[in-house]
A and B are shown apart, each in its own frame.
Chain A
Amino acid sequence: MFLGVLSAFTLVMFALTIIGLVVFTLQVNRYEASGIDDYNTYSRIYAYIASNPDSTVSESLYQDLREYGLTQDCYVEMIGSDLASSYTKDQLLDIAIRAKVSGIILEGDDSEETARLVEEADLAGIPVVTVMTDAPGTARCSFIGLNNYSAGTNYGNLVLQAASEKTDDAIDALVIMSSGDSNESVLCSAIQETLSGSNISLDSVVIESDSTFSTEEKVIDILDEYDELPDIIVCLSDLNTRCVYQCVVDMNAVGNCTIIGYYDSGTVLEAIERGAIYATLNVNSRQLAQYCVDALNEYIDMGNVSEYYSTDYILIDSYNVADYIAEDEQEETGEGV
Chain B
Amino acid sequence: MKGYKNHFRHLKIRYKLVAIFLVTSMIAFGVNLFVYLNLNRMLGRIDMVYSTNISLNKLSDDLDQMHTGLTGYLETKSTDDLEQYYKYSQEISVEIQELNNMPTDNVSLLSERNIRKIAESYLLSAERAVRAKRGRNIQQYTQYYKECSDMYDVLNTYIYSLNNETFRTNSESFNTLIGSLRYSEILCLSIFIIASLMNVLLIIILTGTITRPLTSLSEKANEISVRNPENVEPLAVQTNDEVGNVTRAFNQMLSSIKEYIARIKEQMVTESAMKEKSLLMENHLKDAQLKYLQAQINPHFLFNTLNAGAQLAMVEGADRTGEYISNMADFFRYNVKKDNEQVKISEEIELVDSYIYIMNVRYSGEIEFRKELDESLLNVVIPSMIIQPIVENSLKYGLMTLEDRDKEVALLLYREGDFACIEVKDNGVGMEDDIITKILARESVDTTGENPDEKSVGLRNVLSRLDIFFDGKEEVEILSEIGEGTRVILRIPMEIA
Q: Which residues of A contact B (CB under 8 A)?
A: 3, 6-7, 9-10, 13-14, 16-17, 20-21, 23-25, 27-28, 31-32, 34-36, 38-45, 70, 74-75, 77, 79, 82-85, 87, 91, 94-95, 98-100, 102
Contacts and interface: CB of A to CB of B under 8 A. Distances in A.
Contacts of B160: 84
Contact of B38 (A28, A82, A87): A28
B50 to A, nearest CB: 12
A84 B157 contact: yes
Contacts, number: 126
Contacts of B150: 91, 94
Interface in B59-91: none
Contacts of A34: 173, 176
B198 interface: yes
Contact of A20 (B110, B154, B190, B202): B190
Contacts of A85: 157
Interface size class of B (residues with CB under 8 A): 35 or more
Given A40-B104, A77-B110, A13 B197 contact: yes
A70 B191 contact: no
- Chain B interface, DSSP helix/strand/loop, else mixed: helix
B104 A10 contact: no
Contacts of B31: 17, 21
Given A20-B187, A39-B105, A84-B160, A32 B41 contact: yes
Contact of A32 (B45, B106, B204): B45
A45 B41 CA distance: 35
Contacts of A16: 194, 198
Contacts of A20: 187, 190-191, 194
B133 interface: no
A27 B188 CA distance: 12
A13 B201 contact: yes
B164 A84 contact: yes
Given A7-B205, A84-B164, A24 B187 contact: yes
A10 B102 contact: no
A3 B121 contact: no
A6 to B, nearest CB: 6
A94 B114 CA distance: 12
B187 A99 contact: no
A24 B165 contact: no
Contacts of A14: 198
21 contacts: A6-B201, A10-B198, A13-B194, A14-B198, A20-B191, A21-B191, A23-B187, A28-B39, A34-B173, A39-B109, A79-B114, A82-B107, A82-B111, A83-B161, A87-B154, A98-B118, A98-B121, A98-B122, A98-B151, A99-B118, A100-B117
Contacts of A75: 103-105, 110
B109 A31 contact: no
B108 interface: yes
Interface in B28-43: 31, 34-35, 38-39, 41-42
B229 to A, nearest CB: 29
A27 B187 contact: yes
B208 interface: yes
Nearest to A100: B117
Given A20-B190, A21-B34, A84-B157, A98 B117 contact: yes
B180 A27 contact: yes
Contact of A95 (B154, B176, B191, B194): B154
Nearest to B109: A39
A13 B118 CA distance: 59
Interface in B253-305: none
B121 A100 contact: yes
A3 B104 contact: no
A94 B151 CA distance: 9
B177 interface: yes
Contact of B177 (A21, A31, A38): A31
Contacts of B45: 31-32
A24 B186 CA distance: 10
B194 A27 contact: no
B250 interface: no
Contacts of B158: 83
Nearest to A95: B154
Contact of A36 (B109, B122, B151): B109
A9 B201 contact: yes
Contacts of A74: 103
B184 interface: yes
A85 B183 CA distance: 40
